[in-house]
Amino acid sequence: MLQAIGLTSTHRRDLPPAVDDLTFEARSGCVTALLGAPGSGKTTALRLMLELESGRGVTYFRGNPLHSIAHPAREVGVLLGDVPGHPARTARGQLRLLCAAAGVPVSRADEMLDVVGLAGLGGRRLGTLSLGMDRRLGFASALLGDPQTLILDEPSKGLSPRENSWLSGLLRTHASYGGTVLYTTSDPKEAARLADRVVTLDGGRLVADQDAAAFSRTRLRPRVAVRTPHAARLAAVVAGEARAAQRSVEVVTEEGNLLSVYGSNCAEIGETAFRHGVLVHRLTDEVGDRGPAPAPAPVAARGAASAATAGTDGEKRLVPPSAERPGALSHPSPPRPVRSPLRPLRYELRRLLGVRTAALIATAVLVASVALCVLLARIGDTPLPALLAAWPDFLPLPPAAFGAGLVGALSFGEEFRYPALATARGTVPRRLGLLLAKLAVTAATALLLAVLVAAADSQALRLVYGSDLTPVLQNWPALIASWGGLAVGCAWAGLLAAGVFRVAAAGVAAVLAVPVLIAPLVQKALVVPSARSIAGLPSRLRELAWVQLPQQADLLLMAVVRLVAQPVGAALTLSLSALICAYLFTGLRRGARW
């Protein structure tokens, strides 16, 4: 069961709130329609229920607010608009990504594809799906965690009659197993046909809360739709005969030579048109909408106690039961972030490998590195370490380091552009588990890229110029450490900057700023003459250590110190420290829940 109590959106300047004091409930085992014209506040109400928009009020899902539920995806399935996934990702890959976020087995993805009728289209990319297929994939995403409640915003909008029939069966099936279904619509006839209960909104306020039968009686009535080129003449004839026979018949002139006749039937209208020689192009029975129901009378003591007054024809108007839960409606509730993936490392691996972006970047880096390496070797004035890294003097960074930074920037930049943690529930949260997973995956990717570039450049030099050009270097451990540290540092700089500013371009800019802006400043600071030396630092650190370190630890420690002392190393260290602080500051400032 879903209970929405006193939902009120934040006031807008010179405008009333989009949702004002909305209280209703959607029962288990029933399909509930939230009906209203465009702009009536339906979508805002759903976002308030899901704690995606600031405002007052509270929504209980089987007695618990959403932020107190340990695994929201297993309690509430959400579909707000299209599937928010990368257009290059496949339908199966998108669902497997969400499986890692919801903490459900990966086999659930194929099960849901079969349930929604996309079993043979799992390899189709999201960007190539039609509207009907995209909507089916959205339902599969919402059902991944086997939730008790489904919340859908205009699920039938733009669908064909066949797709609408399938949608009706899906929602009915979920409700028949004891689930709760709440969906929005602007079509009264669809609400009467599909829903068990209809909650009507007008101007953000509750107008009526009725079962489907009472809604059909009070809001809908049968009519005869007549299309004729002589609409005005036929309207006058029908109205005149009704007055003569003292019958209650109403004739409404619609657009496009269409008449809506209430209080009659096709046989009577057809006979009237035949007697008066009026040409008729269309004559059919329909169900029409009578328009919004009258608004409820104002309540004198709003919010004092729970009240439900029964109106005519089974209509109920509710007053928020704020007295039942003291303080529930007294303070605005800020939007809360979506919870971190339950399996963040698996989620991040599937995010990285689900599209070809990383593979294309790696291919471009390898080709550029090999080409630069061969050209630099032909010139003959480049040191061997820079030669193997394909790092000429005119480039601020070698291709491998820049590629690693680009991979890091896209890991957060694309994530905010195509959020996929929970379907259409907002952007990726700033949570420690997800950050650590991203740092680990980008570091592994950067190290792999650095190793591949060094190996490819070495083999290219052997192939083109022979083995004499690539002797074994004496200080190869320090060179390997500095090369790997440069790649990982650039990857992390791009990742953290993109996470702070939520755009990949900021991550790329942060990577390029290290050698272009920060490194020259660090180099100027390092050339200042020093009166002290750090000689003997490893031995002094050994004395402070609790455990006896091996002698080789001195060499490793000095290699790290020399690496950090280099201008680029020091610049990377400063940049990463500043970005980590900025990431933590912005996360705490925006109220992220760690």
Per-residue pLDDT reduced to its tens digit, 4-62: 999 999 877 778 889 999 999 999 999 999 999 998 999 999 999 988 888 899 999 99
pLDDT at 571: 77
Q: Which of 111-115, 380-384, 399-403, 537-541 has the lowest mean pLDDT?
A: 537-541
Which amino acid makes up residue 356? R
Q: pLDDT exceeding 70 applies to what percent of the chain?
A: 79
pLDDT at 566: 62
Residue 366 pLDDT greater than 60, yes or no: yes
Residue 592 pLDDT greater than 50, yes or no: no
Q: Under a CB-based contact definition with an 8 Å cutoff, are residues 69 and 61 in contact?
A: yes
Q: What is the pLDDT of residues 531-589, one digit of tens each?
A: 465 555 556 655 665 555 565 555 555 555 555 556 677 778 888 888 888 888 876 55
How far CA 477 is from CA of 43, 160, 514, 558, in Å, comes to 59, 65, 24, 12
pLDDT at 368: 95
Backbone torsions φ then ψ of 513, nearest 5 degrees: -70, -25
Backbone torsions φ then ψ of 372, nearest 5 degrees: -65, -40
Read off the pTM: 0.75
In CATH terms, the fold of domain 2-212+294-324 is Rossmann fold (3.40.50)
C-alpha span between 21 and 318 (Å, rounded): 10
Q: What is the pLDDT of residues 255-272, one digit of tens each?
A: 778 898 888 889 999 999
How far CA 355 is from CA of 124, 158, 217, 250, 362, in Å, comes to 12, 29, 53, 60, 13
Residue 123 pLDDT greater than 70, yes or no: yes
3-state SS string over 512-580?
HHHHHHHHHHHHHHHCCCCCCCCCCHHHHHHHHCCCCCCCHHHHHHHHHHHHHHCHHHHHHHHHHHHHH
Neighbours of 553 (CB within 10 A): 14
Q: Of 579, 566, 461, 466, nearest to 513 (Cα)?
A: 579
Which amino acid makes up residue 207? V
Cα Rg, the chain, nearest whole Å? 33
Residue 311 pLDDT greater than 70, yes or no: no
Q: Provide mean pLDDT across the span 396-412.
A: 94
Query: What are the domain boundaries of the chain?
Result: 2-212+294-324, 229-280, 344-589
Residue 299 pLDDT greater than 60, yes or no: no
Q: What is the pLDDT of residues 433-462, one digit of tens each?
A: 889 999 999 999 999 999 999 999 999 988
Element (H, E) at 93: helix 91-102
pLDDT at 446: 96
Tokens matching residue 198: 């209809």
